[in-house]
Amino acid sequence: MRTLYHYPLCPYSRKIRLILAEKKLDFAAEVERFWEKRPDFVKLNPAGQVPILIDLNGSVIADSMAIAEYLEDAYPERSL
Q: Which of 2, 10, 29, 75 is flagged as catalytic?
A: 10
Cα–Cα dist 37/28, whole Å = 21
DSSP 33: -
Q: Is 80 a catalytic residue?
A: no
34 close to 41: Cβ distance less than 8 angstroms: yes
Residues annotated as part of the active site = 10
